[in-house]
């Protein structure tokens, strides 16, 4: 039987690319996000690989929505082998004194609390079966703090701590826990961060070649296809033109 992977935030960027890669190697996919039409289109694309796809539309910040979406999973879909906790965002890039409460809440509620809500629903099944792999999408922002990154960096530092905590607590249950920590990846991320300002978003990647979503999906595919005795704790992946959160080399 095909293994099952659940990928959150599969409507775009890293999540979508990961779903595409995992479908190509025969995983059945549970794909999640808020934009139903994007999930429907992705379902059709993934099914061309002769695998099964279950789209689940919910806002990961909403405990009731998470609870009912996961509780409603039935039949062949309950034995989730791989959970990719990818849904997340940066909202705003302001000095701490100018940050918006609404941006802070959105980041904390999605990147930290949403990841926790969903994991709490999926972990018991993995424990029962003594098998599973959780991959948390962290960031260079989980290792370094840069100007105007304050709260986003805090959420990704939290993802790092949660990843380490999960790995320790789930050790007796044969559940692997990994993280992947990318530098700049050109996705919808910067458009979302700058509240739809395309010019500001484009400037982030000006004069350098960033990572693409597929680069991170490659890494996730590698992680989840290691033999049972091997766990990749973390992969820090940067564009060649980015040495740290703040040192970039731009041309032109
Ligand atoms: P995108 O904006 O392209 O994708 C973000 C995904 O998260 C979308 O599918 C979106 O779905 C989903 N999402 C956001 N908020 C919610 C919510 N409240 N409920 C459910 N789903 C939600 O960005 P990326 O692909 O770049 O981001 C994916 C992850 O990678 C994030 O955790 C981000 O922090 C991390 N990351 C990104 C980097 C980058 O430079 N791009 C670098 C390092 C890490 P929908 O809108 O349909 O709900
Ligand atoms: C996204 C990458 O450098 O904007 O996590 O923090 S960065």
How many whole angstroms separate alpha carbon 91 and alpha carbon 190? Answer: 9
| φ, ψ (nearest 5 deg) of residue 113 | -70, -40
How many whole angstroms separate alpha carbon 19 and alpha carbon 39? Answer: 11
Residue 191 CA to ligand 2 centre (angstroms): 13
Q: Which residue among 141, 189, 198 is best mutated to probe the pocket of ligand 1, counting the most ligand atoms within 8 A of its Cβ? A: 189
Domain 4-237 in CATH 3.40.50.970: no
How many whole angstroms separate alpha carbon 66 and alpha carbon 49? Answer: 28
Domain-wise residue ranges, the chain: 4-237
How many whole angstroms separate alpha carbon 60 and alpha carbon 90? Answer: 15
Mean pLDDT value of segment 181-186: 98
| 149-180 tens-digit pLDDT | 999 999 999 999 999 999 999 999 999 999 99
Instruction: Give yes or no for residue 252 having a pLDDT over 90.
Output: no
Q: What does pTM read for this prediction?
A: 0.99
Residues with CB under 6 A from ligand 1: 9-15, 33-35, 38, 59-61, 86-89, 110, 137, 139, 182, 184-185, 187-189, 192, 213
Residue 194 CA to ligand 1 centre (angstroms): 14
Q: Which residue among 187, 198, 214 is best mutated to probe the pocket of ligand 1, counting the most ligand atoms within 8 A of its Cβ? A: 187
Which entry of 117, 146, 152, 173 is annotated as an active-site residue?
152
Q: Is 205 a catalytic residue?
A: no
| 119-149 tens-digit pLDDT | 999 999 999 999 999 999 999 999 999 999 9
Ligand whose nearest atom lies closest to the CA of 189: 1
Instruction: Give yes or no for residue 30 having a pLDDT over 80.
Output: yes
Find where tokens 């509620």 sit: 109
Q: Average pLDDT over the chain, rounded to whole?
A: 98
Residue 137 CA to ligand 1 centre (angstroms): 9
């Amino acid at each position: 039987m095909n293994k099952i992977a659940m990928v959150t935030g599969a409507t775009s960027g890293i999540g979508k690319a990961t779903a595409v890669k995992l479908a190509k190697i025969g995983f059945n996919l549970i794909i999640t996000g808020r934009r139903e039409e994007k999930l429907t289109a992705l379902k059709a694309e993934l099914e061309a690989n002769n695998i099964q796809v279950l789209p689940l539309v919910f806002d990961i910040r909403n405990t009731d929505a998470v609870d009912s979406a996961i509780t409603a999973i039935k039949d062949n879909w309950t034995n989730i082998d791989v959970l990719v906790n990818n849904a997340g965002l940066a909202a705003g890039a302001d000095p701490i004194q100018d940050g918006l409460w609404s941006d802070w809440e959105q980041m904390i509620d999605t990147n930290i609390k949403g990841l926790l809500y969903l994991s709490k629903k999926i972990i018991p099944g993995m424990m029962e079966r003594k098998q599973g792999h959780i991959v948390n999408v962290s960031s260079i922002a989980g290792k370094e703090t840069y100007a105007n990154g304050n709260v986003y960096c805090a959420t990704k530092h939290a993802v790092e701590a949660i990843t380490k905590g999960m790995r320790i607590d789930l050790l007796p249950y044969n559940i692997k826990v990994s993280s992947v920590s990318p530098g700049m990846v050109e996705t919808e991320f910067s458009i979302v961060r700058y509240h739809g300002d395309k010019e500001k978003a484009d400037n982030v990647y000006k004069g350098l070649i960033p990572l693409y979503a597929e680069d991170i999906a490659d890494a996730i595919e590698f992680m989840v296809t290691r033999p049972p005795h091997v766990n990749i704790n973390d992969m820090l992946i940067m564009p060649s033109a980015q040495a740290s959160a703040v040192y970039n080399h731009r041309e032109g």
